[in-house]
């Protein structure tokens, strides 16, 4: 049994969703855990785990683009504003007397682990950029260099790096291991079927989305976005994030969304063709989109357009056929490795 501080990036839902599965596993193993998170991560995880809310450091998005100068400014202001709370938070962590730290792309957790000279495990997908060899088109080399520096600055010096990804790359750093993605339990247990609508997840602002969807005649779209209540605009039904969306995931005929790992992983698990719109300048999402197309599971575009979507929709039977050949890989190997690492460190 170990005492674990588990840091979770609170930006978006993906980090918290996969961390929930890992935290549940660790809890079943008898470990005592305190979670450090913020925003959506803290709100989601505090229902089932002890959570200390921390200042959130993350990326700033505007119109489906990462704005680096705003990111730096916002993070600096957060550190200054929350400075008075650091001593109290640090005392709570010290009093817990942790044996080790695990970070899902949460920098404060890594910093405290180094300060306390205690073991650190990194469990995320971002370090695939820095700890493995990835083919990056020349057009995106600048974004790759920038994002790699950001990843290195967020979580560094871990004793082990456990990376989740739906595509394989050659490992270049010691004590680094790549595993299949973590799919949240409610999705993994779904029974799928195919109905005549497209599931759209708009967790980043791409302004022309609704207008472009309405140009596609004969298709129905269900869009989840940050709105209050539900409404219908022509062939588009708009729902807010608070509604249960797993049933729509299970019954749609295809999915449209940004190119974050979590939703793509769920689409692959459910055998749903995927059209990706990566957040601009976020190379991790661009590489996800490129590999999604390369593997024959869907298509992608830097900008949403009715013409590109119509091409994707015509190819759904081909994508579905390729998806049927993809094996479902669960978390058995990942958690076996994680358990062994914890046992060796404590």
Nearest to 338 by CA among 164, 82, 88: 164
Residue 333 reports pLDDT greater than 60:
yes
> Do 106 and 35 sit in the same domain of this protein?
yes
Residue 138 reports pLDDT greater than 50:
yes
Q: What distance in Å separates the CA atoms of residue 122 and residue 183, rounded to the nearest whole number?
A: 18
For 139, the enclosing helix (H) or strand (E) is none
DSSP 155-179: S-S-SEEEEE-SS--EE-STTEEEE
> Do 156 and 8 sit in the same domain of this protein?
yes
Q: Are 33 and 6 in contact (CB under 8 A)?
A: yes
**Averaged over 46-72, what is the pLDDT?**
67
The sign one gets for the Cα dihedral 314, 294, 63, 139 is negative
> Do 196 and 146 sit in the same domain of this protein?
no
| pLDDT confidence tier of residue 79, bands split at 50, 70 and 90 | low
Q: What distance in Å separates the CA atoms of residue 7 and residue 121, rounded to the nearest whole number?
A: 10
Quick: pLDDT tens for 5-44: 999 998 777 899 999 999 999 999 999 999 999 988 999 9
> Do 287 and 219 sit in the same domain of this protein?
yes
> Do 165 and 208 sit in the same domain of this protein?
no
Domain of 256 in residue numbering reads as 186-324
Structure tokens of 123? 């469990």
Quick: pLDDT tens for 214-249: 999 999 999 988 777 678 888 999 888 765 567 789
> Do 28 and 50 sit in the same domain of this protein?
yes
Of 58 and 100, the one with more pLDDT: 100
Residue 158 reports pLDDT greater than 90:
yes
Q: What distance in Å separates the CA atoms of residue 30 and residue 270, rounded to the nearest whole number?
A: 31
We report the CATH number of the domain holding residue 140 as: 3.40.50.2000
| Domains contained in the chain, number | 2
Q: Report the 10 Å Cβ neighbour count for 52.
A: 18
> Do 41 and 178 sit in the same domain of this protein?
yes
pLDDT of residue 69: 45
Quick: pLDDT tens for 175-227: 999 999 999 999 999 999 999 999 998 866 556 788 899 999 999 999 988 77
> Do 34 and 162 sit in the same domain of this protein?
yes
Q: What percentage of the chain has pLDDT greater than the value 70?
A: 88
- β-strands 254-257, 274-276: how paired? parallel
Residue 66 reports pLDDT greater than 70:
no
| pLDDT confidence tier of residue 70, bands split at 50, 70 and 90 | low
Mean pLDDT of the chain: 89
Instruction: Say which range, 154-163, 229-238, 273-282, has the weakest mean pLDDT.
Output: 229-238
> Do 154 and 267 sit in the same domain of this protein?
no
> Do 37 and 177 sit in the same domain of this protein?
yes
> Do 143 and 194 sit in the same domain of this protein?
no
């Amino acid at each position: 049994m170990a005492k674990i501080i588990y840091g979770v990036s609170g930006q978006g839902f993906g980090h918290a969703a996969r961390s929930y599965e890992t935290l549940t596993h660790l809890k079943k193993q008898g470990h005592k855990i305190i979670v450090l998170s913020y925003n959506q991560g803290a709100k989601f995880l505090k229902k089932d785990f002890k959570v200390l809310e921390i200042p959130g450091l993350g990326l700033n998005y505007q119109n489906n683009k990462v704005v680096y100068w705003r990111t730096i400014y916002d993070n600096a202001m957060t550190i200054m504003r929350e400075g008075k709370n650091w001593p109290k938070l640090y005392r709570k962590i010290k009093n817990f007397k942790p044996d080790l730290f695990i970070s899902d792309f949460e920098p404060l957790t890594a910093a405290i682990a180094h300060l306390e000279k205690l073991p650190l495990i990194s469990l995320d997908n971002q370090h695939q950029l820095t700890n493995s060899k990835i083919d990056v088109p020349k057009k995106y080399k600048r974004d790759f260099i920038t994002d790699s520096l950001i990843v290195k600055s967020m979580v560094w010096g871990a004793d082990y790096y456990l990376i989740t990804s739906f595509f394989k790359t050659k490992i270049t750093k010691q004590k680094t291991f790549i595993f299949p993605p973590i799919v949240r339990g409610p999705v993994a247990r779904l029974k799928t079927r195919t109905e005549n609508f497209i599931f759209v997840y708009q967790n980043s602002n791409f302004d022309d989305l609704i207008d472009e969807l309405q140009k596609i005649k004969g298709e129905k779209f269900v869009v989840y976005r940050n709105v209050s209540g539900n409404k219908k605009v022509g062939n588009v039904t708009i729902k807010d994030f608070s509604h249960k969306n797993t049933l729509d995931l299970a019954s749609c005929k295809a999915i449209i969304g940004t190119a974050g790992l979590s939703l793509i992983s769920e689409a692959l698990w459910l055998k749903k063709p995927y059209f990706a719109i990566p957040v601009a300048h976020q190379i991790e999402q661009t590489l996800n989109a490129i590999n999604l197309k390369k593997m024959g599971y869907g298509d992608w575009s830097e900008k949403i357009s009715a013409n590109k979507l119509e091409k994707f929709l015509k190819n759904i039977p081909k994508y579905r056929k390729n998806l049927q050949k993809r094996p479902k890989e669960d978390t058995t190997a990942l958690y076996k490795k994680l358990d062994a690492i914890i046992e060796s460190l404590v």
